[in-house]
Amino acid sequence: MPFAFLDRVIESDEDRLVAVRSLTAGEDYLRDHFEGFPVMPGVLMVETMAQACRELLARRGHEGWVLGEARGVRFNSLVRPGQTLRVEVRLRTMDSDRAEFQGSGEVLDPGTVQGASAVTGRLVLRPVRLDNAPSAEAR
Amino acid sequence: MRWLWIDRIVDLAAGERLRAIKHVSLAEEHLFVTPAGVPVMPASLIIEGMAQTAGLLVGHAGGFREKVLLAKIQRATLDREATPGCTLMYEATLTRMDPQGASCNGTVHLRADDEFVPIGTVDLLFTHLDHARSDEVFGNTNFVFGESFRTLLRLSGIEPPEATA
């Protein structure tokens, strides 16, 4: 399964991006999270917001940045199969090695455009740092 | 993609501390490939590894009676990427536990060659689901600690909770 959590970008401008990710009952990890009680893991809400941040940065010419920090991320509602997570990220500050975003997500029932808050928090993306890759000697 | 983000519990001080490891393999399908072509483990899943480590610590401290759910990432900071061939070690310390939930502080270590080096911290807040949402009925089965976790606990030499399904 590709680790892709944006089904579609709904809106975007220079500093803001809105995207959706629908949860389907057939996703493998829902067998474990949880057995008989499938809900979207909270960290996948974070991943959805992080991928929205990465997409916004890519549109600004910064490819491949990764999540480096998450602060004050609250999980407010469960997202169940058949529902959709709609995330919105806003770029707050940015320099050469750090982009700070405010993110939020709401859970939508089928056919609705507004729902309850599912997640809120601040995310920081940064360029990839590979200092700890195994050395040739160790391999 | 299954939902188990630790491979082995390496030690447990009940009610205090739990350490677990996770190998990073090129065979895993969740890796993010950077523009330079290097696959790295997504930070969100490293946070989940710590959440599972800390969640097991909290669950074990409560006799696995509570449905332990991640409620808040207070703060997570990760300074380096984990690449295939590396091993992650999660060390979670219980800082608070009461009927409503628990808090844990965690340190993430990465071993690329011989030694583990710290690469970040993850501080988490958990809720006990039946207390937090007392208006909803979630049943007697503790679905949070399912068969995957019971297998992990057995393989780590820790008595798992009985299946309640």
Provide the percentage of residues in chain B whose pLDDT is more than 90: 82
Nearest to B146 among A34, A50, A121 (CB): A34
Reported as a single tens digit per residue, the pLDDT across A66-98 is 999 999 999 999 999 999 999 999 999 999 999
Reported as a single tens digit per residue, the pLDDT across A13-67 is 999 999 999 999 999 999 999 999 999 999 999 999 999 999 999 999 999 899 9
Nearest to A66 among B32, B112, B119 (CB): B32
Torsion from C-alpha of A94, A97, A102, A106, nearest 10 degrees:
130
- Assigned domain for A50 exists: yes
Q: Inter-axis angle of helices B43-61 and A42-59, to 10 degrees?
A: 160
Inter-chain touch B73–A66, beta carbons under 8 Å: no
Residue listed under structure tokens 């630790």: B6
Reported as a single tens digit per residue, the pLDDT across B20-43 is 999 999 999 999 999 999 999 999
With an 8 Å Cβ cutoff, is B138 touching chain A? yes
Residue listed under structure tokens 């890759």: A133
For residue A100, the tally of other CB atoms under 10 A from its CB is 19
- Assigned domain for A139 exists: no
Inter-chain touch A67–B79, beta carbons under 8 Å: no
- Assigned domain for A132 exists: no
Domain total in chain A: 1
CB pairs under 8 A between A and B: 139
Q: Was domain B8-155 assigned CATH 3.40.50.2000? A: no
Q: What is the CATH number of the domain that holds A93?
A: 3.10.129.10
**Residues 32-61 (A) with a CB less than 8 A from some CB of B:** 32-37, 41-44, 46-47, 50
Range of A26's domain?
8-127
Least confident interval from B5-9, B13-17, B47-51, B133-137: B133-137
Query: B-chain residues within 8 Å CB-CB of A44?
Result: 44
- Assigned domain for A134 exists: no
- Assigned domain for A138 exists: no
Sheet holding A98-108, edge to edge: A8-12, A16-22, A84-95, A98-108, A116-126, A66-75, B68-78, B116-128, B101-111, B87-98, B17-23, B8-13
User: Long-range contacts of range B54-57, CB-CB < 8 Å, 24 or more positions apart?
Assistant: B54/B18, B54/B90, B54/B92, B54/B94, B54/B104, B54/B106, B54/B124, B54/B126, B55/B126, B55/B144, B56/B9, B56/B18, B56/B20, B56/B145, B56/B149, B56/B153, B57/B12, B57/B15, B57/B17, B57/B18, B57/B92, B57/B94, B57/B104
- Assigned domain for A30 exists: yes
- Assigned domain for A3 exists: no
Q: Write down the domain spans for chain B.
A: 8-155
φ/ψ of B92, rounded to 5, equals -110, 135
Inter-chain touch B4–A32, beta carbons under 8 Å: yes
- Assigned domain for A1 exists: no
